Amino acid sequence: MTLDWPTLLPLIFAGLMGLAILIYVILDGFDLGIGILFAAAEDAEQDTMIAAIGPFWDANETWLVLAVGLLLVAFPLAHGTILTALYIPVFLLLVGLILRGVAFDFRAKVPAGRKHRWNRIFFLGSVIASLAQGYMLGIYVLGLDVGLSGMAFGALVALCLAAAYAAMGAAWVIYKTEGELQKKAVLWLRRALVLTALGMVAVSLATPLASPRIFDKWFVWPAMLYLSPLPILSAVLFAWLWRQTFHLPKADDRHALTPFLTLAAIFTLGFAGLAWSFYPFVVPDRLTIWQAASAPESLAIILAGTVVVLPVIIFYSFYAYRVFGGKATDLTYD
């Protein structure tokens, strides 16, 4: 492999796309998770939970637009293949995101009597979007093969990803709230962790079993040795977080952000494992990132803009989170 631009550019864009997906999953993960947890929360708690994500959700969802945008612009062949194969789950994801997104605003603006209806729609949209994403992950892992057993596996991953998002949501609530709601969120986190762990194990086992190529990438010496930190570290973090749920919240609210950061780390490890499994393919076992990539001159002009703009985006995103830092208070338009 020679290191010239036509080789490097698709690689860089695969990395950027992976980064965008990871950031999306972590950031919108807690938004969607809070939507899922709506089912278990009281009216007043729901308002606080919305206040904990209200100023951020829009920017969080933009990372999905960036991820699918990068897939679209950098790997147009893969974009078409993947999205036509996943037509119905993508459609459900979009319906879920539409319902979730508009419910945010409607619930705060309709006459008081109608608020309940939009709370339910908010829950429903978040659940549909999370399940659809999980299902898509499951089908993708199996190489976009949609037999009956594939669909069953997709359904399992769907449930587990929804649970993982619920865990993220609970962790965010622990960080952004106090008192009874915070204590409740600790319990939510513990329950959701069980399914999250199950999901990660299921995906980790299914990926190599579904593809001999991926099996060979993991289970050969010495790759096994270099890769062993991924599963071991994930397991340690899971166990540690599980123990923490029996001690939170602590006095002075110490470590309120720790569960969220731990989960983000676990997500990152899992994502790294997936990336290793599928590299260099963007459509599993069919299209590599080089086969699917746009022309180098088009990638170059996007990269030039990205290099300048992405740090600025990250900078002002941090600024926005800082402005709304601290415990969530009621959101008002003044």
Partner 1 sequence: MDPLILSRIQFGANISFHILFPAITIALGWMLLFFKLRYNATGDTAWMRAYFTWVKVFALSFAMGVVSGVTMSFQFGTNWPGYMETVGNIAGPLLAYEILTAFFLEAAFLGIMLFGFRRVSNGTHTLATVLVAGGTTLSAFWIIALNSWMQTPVGFEMRNGVAHATDWWAIVFNPSMPYRLVHMLLASGLTVSFLIAGLSALRYLYGDRSESMWKALRTGVFTAAILIPIQIFAGDQHGLNTLEHQPQKIAAMEANWNTGPNVPLVLFALPDEAARENKFEVAIPDGASLILRHSASGVVPGLNDFAGNHPPVFPVFWAFRIMVGTGVLMLVVSWSAAFFLKRRHTLPKPLALVMVPMALSGWLATLAGWYTTEIGRQPWLVTGVLKTVDAVGPVAGSQVALSLAVYLILYALLLIAYLGVLVYLALKAAKDGDTSPLPGVLDAALSQPAAK
Residues found near partner 1 in the complex (CB under 8 A):
54-56, 58-59, 61-62, 64-66, 68-74, 76-77, 79-84, 87-88, 90-91, 93-95, 97-99, 101-102, 104-106, 109-111, 294-295, 297-298, 301-302, 305-306, 309-310, 313, 316-317, 319-320, 323-324, 326, 331-334
Task: Output 248 or 299, the one with its CB closest to partner 1.
Answer: 299
Quote the least distance from Cβ 148 to partner 1, whole Å.
18
What's the min distance (Å) between Cβ of 62 and partner 1? 5
Nearer to partner 1, 36 or 64 (CB): 64
CA dist 57 to 117, 164, 261, Å?
20, 18, 18
* Residue 58 CB coordination number (10 Å): 12
> CA nearest 32: which of 4, 75, 64?
64
Distance separating alpha carbons of residues 171 and 33, to the nearest angstrom: 9
Task: Provide the minimum distance between the beta carbon of 52 and partner 1 in the complex, in angstroms, as a whole number.
Answer: 12
Q: Which lies closer to partner 1 via its Cβ, residue 73 or residue 235? A: 73
Beta bridge partners of 288: 281
> Distance from CA of residue 204 to its chain's centroid?
17
Q: For residues 112 and 225, which CB has a smaller minimum distance to partner 1 in the complex?
A: 112
CB of 318 to partner 1, least distance (A): 10
Q: What residue type is 51 in one-letter code?
A: A
Longest dimension (CA), the chain: 65
Smaller CB distance to partner 1: residue 70 or 203?
Answer: 70
Q: Measure the CA–CA gap between 132 and 86, rounded to whole angstroms.
A: 10
